[in-house]
Amino acid sequence: MQDQDLMRSARFRKEREADWQRLEQLVMAAESRGLQYMDFAEARDLASLYRQATTSLAIAREISLDKALLGYLEALTARAYLCVYAPQERLGGLFQRFFSHGAPQAMRRSWPFILLGFLCMGLGALSGYLLYFESADWYYVFMPAELAGGRGPDATYEALRSVIYDQNPDSSGLGAFATYLFSHNTRIAIFVFGLGVFACAPAVVLTFYNGLMLGAFYALHVDRGLGPDIAGWLSIHGVTELSAICIACAGGLKLGTALMFPGDVSRITSLRLAGRDALKLALVAALMLLVAAFLEGFGRQLVQDIYMRFIIGWGIGALWLIWFLFAGREQK
Amino acid sequence: MIPRLRRKRKTERPSRNQLMPPEGVPLTMQIAGVGVRLGAQITDIAITTAALVCIMILLATLNITGPQTIVAIGALLFFLIRVPYYILAELAWNGQTLGKRIMKIKVVSHDGGPLTTHALVLRNMMKEAEVFLPGTLVLMLDASSPLGSLLAFGWIAICLFVPIFDRYRRRLGDMMAGTHVIHLPVPVLLKDLAREPRVMTRDKKGFVFLSHQLDHYGAFELQTLEGLLRAQETRPSGNILAERDKTIAAIVEKIRKKIGYASPVPPADRVKFLQAFYKAQREHLEQRQLFGDRRENKHYAQNGEDA
């Protein structure tokens, strides 16, 4: 059959059909083998044939009424598009970028929110501390019974001291590590971050409440003359862990403010933009909780000396601070 | 008046299945529904749980852990398996986990750009808050705390209703990451009906259609006829074949009456008549389209008057 006998759209298809089939083969190869394992020539052809196919599709929509052709071209260009625009990132580079400048830069960008997070926690702790000295009954209001573990205003000095310095033989190592990670504070951190979306209030309230518990707990021990001891016991992992909660709170606040005050963009766009930094804050908080879990699971039982506990706790805190402040600075 | 307004607004919005790549030619990708995504999610949970069970059995045989911490360690391991699994699988397979591969669905960037690592990490971290936390909450429910049950119920309801009511079936994590999930399109190239050799009747004359005879139908009718002709390539047996012949005869009669085709079509030539009519009609409509006269269906004339 002669070409000139064919109608325009059939000629159009006949001229390009071979290219489309070649593109189809390349797409299948790229999907099964992965783009990075293809030859140079194949990868080059894939990109240029994909662009030709998009043009063909645009023309076919105008000149052809062949449903089979339109359907095929739609599907083929869509598949090729997914191949050509696949993420091309190496895992190592990803981690390196996160640690070397992604995370610390995000931390520095969101310092007002982090300050707010620490403020919530600090004010909570202060009020908890003062309220305990006003009336010890407040302790029962703030502290859930299962978290206190028998440590209340009616506990004796010896009982409190034994918790701080005695080893717990049945919960050390891996078991304690795991129990810890699913303990109260991790859950608080997740809630504080996730609930920040709902207009910030849950994040602020939860962080403040966590501070109240901390303050009342600390005041109880100060009341018994165990102030420095409990500070040491708390700081070996608490410096990292409580900072993690504050940072998670900062991430939640960031999302909440983005939703409440979107500025010139739509709320969803604003949430997406804020999500870039908030996600990094959440990942930093998760990392810190993991480190805190190690410290709690292994360090707290091994290190019994109060000064050693202070040094490890605040030393690691200082390392975090150095990372946040100095990593990933641009050369001016 | 009101239905009219509503219809007008609907046609103004671009179809939800369209995605604009950087090349500027909108591509059609079917949005995946809540059901198929739930299926993929359940498959993924089954896969990760299987991995967890294997490791737990290993740990139990090695006797490393005490019985009182085994639950905590299991929860920790499940967490440590699933979080990297979703992120790495979607990174490595370009927006597909194993469950999504089985269901043939895929994550794409909502604005048509490439999928970024940030988007994949974010949407899978939000999965923790949207799927797994409420899931565990349900598992840990007890009748003694009605407030907790109510909260868990509310949370799950929100997480489920957000994708159901969203136009693109996005869950919260998708919205924040700027992604949505599509069905993977399958390219199948069927042969071009217009490239069949010239249709000959028994008396070697062929069917001839005049231009006014081709003004009755639009693209919709043409493509329906195309579907019918493609179905003719299969050869069913007995009863179905007789049924099909009857349908063909009815269609041929209907077309003849509509377009005023005078000479009768012998039974043996009915399919050939339809093929010839398809070709002539398509050529005519495509030509009209080139001149800017796009005929969606047979009501094109009334629509034109309306506008």
pLDDT digits (tens, 9 = 90+) for B90-138: 988 888 999 999 999 999 998 888 888 888 988 888 888 788 877 777 7
Interchain contact, B195 vs A82, CB within 8 Å: no
Quick one: pLDDT at residue A168? 53
Interchain contact, A175 vs B66, CB within 8 Å: yes
Chain A contact present for B228, CB below 8 A: no
**Same domain, yes or no: A11 and A112:** no
| Ordered alpha helix ranges (H), chain A | 8-33, 40-63, 67-84, 91-97, 103-109, 111-134, 138-142, 145-148, 157-165, 174-181, 184-194, 201-223, 227-260, 267-294, 300-302, 306-326
Interchain contact, A8 vs B285, CB within 8 Å: no
Q: What is the DSSP letter of A101?
A: I
Taking CA atoms, what residue in B is nearest to A67? B223
Out of A17, A81, A89, name the one closest to residue B117 (CB).
A89
ipTM: 0.84
Residues of A in contact with B115 (CB under 8 A): 85-87
Taking CA atoms, what residue in A is nearest to B121? A279
As a whole number of angstroms, the distance between CA A95 and CA A88 comes to: 14
Residues of A in contact with B226 (CB under 8 A): 66-68
Residues of A in contact with B22 (CB under 8 A): 85
| B3, pLDDT greater than 70 | no
**C-alpha closest to that of A185 among A213, A157, A160:** A213
Look over chain A and give the mean of its residue pLDDT values, rounded to a whole number. 83
Domain boundary among A84, A110, A131: A84
A214 in any annotated domain: yes
**Same domain, yes or no: A78 and A124:** no
**Same domain, yes or no: A187 and A218:** yes
Kindly report the number of other CB atoms within 10 A of residue B170's CB atom.
21
A332 in any annotated domain: no
Interchain contact, B187 vs A24, CB within 8 Å: yes
**Same domain, yes or no: A42 and A99:** no
Q: Does B101 or B304 have the greater pLDDT score? A: B101
pLDDT digits (tens, 9 = 90+) for B258-301: 888 888 888 888 888 888 888 889 889 988 888 888 888 888 87
B245 membership: H or E segment, kind and range = helix B238-259
| B10, pLDDT greater than 60 | no
**C-alpha closest to that of B117 among A30, A89, A271, A270:** A89
**Same domain, yes or no: A127 and A275:** yes
Residue A301 three-state SS? helix
Count of the separate structural domains present in chain A: 2
**Same domain, yes or no: A26 and A136:** no
pLDDT digits (tens, 9 = 90+) for A70-81: 999 999 999 999
A68 in any annotated domain: yes
As a whole number of angstroms, the distance between CA A166 and CA A244 comes to: 27
A268 in any annotated domain: yes
Which residue type, as a one-letter code, is found at position B54? Answer: C
A258 in any annotated domain: yes
Q: What are phi and psi of B232, to 5 degrees?
A: -70, -15
pLDDT digits (tens, 9 = 90+) for A144-184: 766 666 666 777 777 677 766 665 544 445 566 566 656 66
* Strand partners of residue B27: B19
> In the predicted model, what is the mean pLDDT of residues B247-253?
90
Q: Does A248 or B128 have the greater pLDDT score? A: A248
pLDDT digits (tens, 9 = 90+) for A183-193: 667 777 777 77
* 8 Å CB contact between B7 and B158: no
**Non-local CB neighbours of A40 within 8 Å, separated by 6+ positions:** none
| A298, pLDDT greater than 80 | no
* 8 Å CB contact between A221 and A227: yes
> In the predicted model, what is the mean pLDDT of residues A210-225?
84
Quick one: pLDDT at residue A169? 45
Residues of B in contact with A170 (CB under 8 A): 66, 68
As a whole number of angstroms, the distance between CA B279 and CA B300 comes to: 20
**Same domain, yes or no: A144 and A243:** yes
**Same domain, yes or no: A212 and A79:** no
Residue A78 C-alpha, separation from nearest chain B C-alpha, in angstroms: 6
**Same domain, yes or no: A78 and A98:** no
Residue A119 C-alpha, separation from nearest chain B C-alpha, in angstroms: 25
Largest Cα span, chain B: 92
A240 in any annotated domain: yes
**Same domain, yes or no: A53 and A173:** no
Chain A contact present for B62, CB below 8 A: no
The domain in which residue A281 lies consists of 92-326
Chain A contact present for B195, CB below 8 A: yes
Domain boundary among A84, A105, A121: A84
A37 in any annotated domain: yes
Domain boundary among A37, A66, A84: A84
* 8 Å CB contact between B206 and B198: yes
Taking CA atoms, what residue in B is nearest to A180? B72
Chain A contact present for B65, CB below 8 A: yes
Residue A96 C-alpha, separation from nearest chain B C-alpha, in angstroms: 13
